[in-house]
Amino acid sequence: LILTCSCTVEWLSKSGIVNKSIKGQNVNVRIVRNEFRDIFLVLESKAINQKFLMKGVNVHKKFMQEGKATINFTEIPLNVFIHNAPPAQLVSFLKTLFIKLCSSKSSPKTCIRDKLLSTKSQVLEEVSPVNHKDITRVKADNVTLKRPIIKQEQNTTNKKVCLNSISSLTEEQKQILDAVLRGSNVFFTGGAGTGKSYLLQYILSSLQPDVTVATASTGSAACLIGGVTLHSFAGIGLGEGTFDRCLNLASRPAVKQCWKRCRHLIIDEISMVNAAYFEKIERVARNIRENDRPFGGIQLIVCGDFLQLPPVNNDKKKFCFMSESWNKMSFQTYYLKEVHRQNDIVFISILNSIRLGSVTPAMVEQLQNTETQHIEKEGILATRLCCYTKEAKEINDSRLAKLTGDTKVYEAVDSSPMVTTLLDECTPVAKSITLKVGCQVMLLKNINISLGLVNGARGIVEKFTNGEPVVKFLCGKKYSVKQEKWIVKTANGSTVIRKQIPLRLAWAFSIHKSQGLTLDCVEISLDNTFEAGQAYVALSRAKNLKSIRVIGFNSKQVWANSDALRFYKTLVPYNQEFIPLGKKRKSQKNLFPVIDL
């Protein structure tokens, strides 16, 4: 196991004063054993070439999700600061280090005299991967995660965050991750619920955070991946001015530094980025970075589904795949086909057909039959999805007004009044939330996954205790909702904070705002459908046909964008290979299976 990161090594005096320090980038950090089975930490780079015996160490891992950790050698004394490490690699590295150190406690020790008199050849070899024997030794010794080996976070369950291992990825997801780690420009797509956002989170944890920028076309999507909007990162606003105007905006010192530092640019919900904007930011990137390669040499990782909600514009070249810049990127393209959100085969078949703008009479009948079914549970009404944001707001406001009792208003606490607009855009919570006893709400943050208190859980406010709303959720649990913190990383690397209770009214949502959500019971009215893909996005929020009620459904409400359909005909959706987008196939048009349109 090799961890590639930046490192700073500090040698300390007995009083803790730094006597000497060295820094290095792209340092390979390894765990090795010598001929006597002693464990060493090895640091290797152009600037650093050090080896330290792992004895009497404390590991501080509070910020490992940001790619940072500190290893403190108490006997030397010495500090090794690890930063800009891919978080997933760092977690795996620290787990291996912990298990190997614990396992070595039960191994036979060689005394100093025997080491000095030994005739064994001096050798350093990589430690073996963690195996069942190592784990058995740790369990037999009843070792817990506490200092001085690795510090366990003293926190309640609502603060635990776990990065999943690569074994939790499907084979198709692993292939995409491998392509990203090889440095290729990657575009991966797929229908709703195929794990695009989950994979994107894993990709983020596998890249060095200091040179990786996570963006999305909308604020709600950016919030889900812990990133910023593409407009915020690019620094050119909506890109409505001339190119010279956009270049001047992007040349501001803070914005320019972001462009210069970026090596990996991630764009989620790429379907909502129009062609003209994509062209402008690609040209800006080349000029700012003074590099003639596409996007100035930045690796692009983009994902989204062009058969869902499209960009909001009336240009002839609506989608970014219609731009010349898209063709220049030579994307390796992958199509995720395994659905994780739904397990109802009939419902999955209906969704796949609606996604392509096609619906049979039998499918229409099945969806119309849901209009009369009772899907409410525990007194919690089905959340209604509306075509317009204004319509959803009117429903929530009118329902709230009908409730009697005192009104409680919760105001967010922002780190600065100057960043309120950014926080409104990049966090799921509003600046101000109004609640009453009896109002229906949705939880907007994972509190305790094992108890079902997760992002998207719905419930009803039963009372207010000490100023906090007590909510009974559909899972049966009651929870006194406390103020939570949202930390947003800005394009220039600084952070801004919003503190607010993680709730929102949940009688109704707009279809646009529902993207990325999974709802346990949902009511949908598609009478005012005005955009291609709207019906598909709304219907795919449900898990199965038993948890959905569609009012007044007819086939005219379902259609797909013709440009997007033609684009998907060029892909290889059910084959693990890829083709460069924008380039014509060489003969043998039917060599690979394509989407049946």
Tens-digit pLDDT profile for the chain (597 aa)? Answer: 789 999 999 998 888 889 999 999 899 999 988 877 788 899 999 888 999 988 888 999 888 888 899 999 988 889 999 999 999 889 888 988 888 888 776 667 777 777 777 777 777 788 777 767 666 666 666 555 444 433 333 333 333 333 444 458 888 899 999 999 999 999 999 888 888 888 998 999 899 988 999 998 887 788 778 888 898 889 888 888 888 999 999 998 988 999 999 999 999 999 989 999 999 999 999 999 999 999 999 999 999 999 988 887 766 668 899 999 999 999 999 998 888 888 888 999 999 999 988 889 999 999 999 998 888 887 888 999 988 889 999 999 999 999 988 889 999 999 888 888 888 888 888 899 999 999 999 998 888 888 888 888 899 999 999 989 999 998 888 999 999 998 887 766 678 899 999 999 999 988 888 877 788 889 998 888 888 888 999 999 888 898 899 998 888 888 898 889 989 888 754 333 333 333 333 433 333 333 333
Domain parsing of the chain, residue ranges: 2-106, 171-335
Fill in the amino acid letter for 472: K
Q: 130 near 96, Cβ under 8 Å?
A: yes
- Count of C-beta atoms within a 10 Å radius of residue 276: 17
Q: Which amino acid is at 486?
A: W
Pairing of strands 440-443, 432-435: unpaired
pTM summary value: 0.80
Residue range 406-421, pLDDT digits in tens:
889 999 999 888 888 8
- Please choose, from the candidates 467, 499, 470, 495, the residue with its C-alpha nearest in 3D space to the C-alpha of residue 484: 499
Over the stretch 338-363, which tens digit does the pLDDT of each residue have?
A: 888 888 889 999 999 999 888 899 99
Fold of 171-335: Rossmann fold (3.40.50)
Q: Is 2.30.29.30 the CATH classification of the domain at 2-106?
A: yes
**Do the Cβ atoms of 514 and 538 come closer than 8 Å?**
yes
> What is the Cα–Cα distance from 490 to 414, expressed in whole angstroms?
14
Which residues are paired to 443 by β-bridges?
A: 503
Q: Which residues of 280-311 are buried (b: 16+ CB within 10 A; e: fewer)?
A: bbbbbbbbbbeeeebbbebbbbbbbbbbbbbb
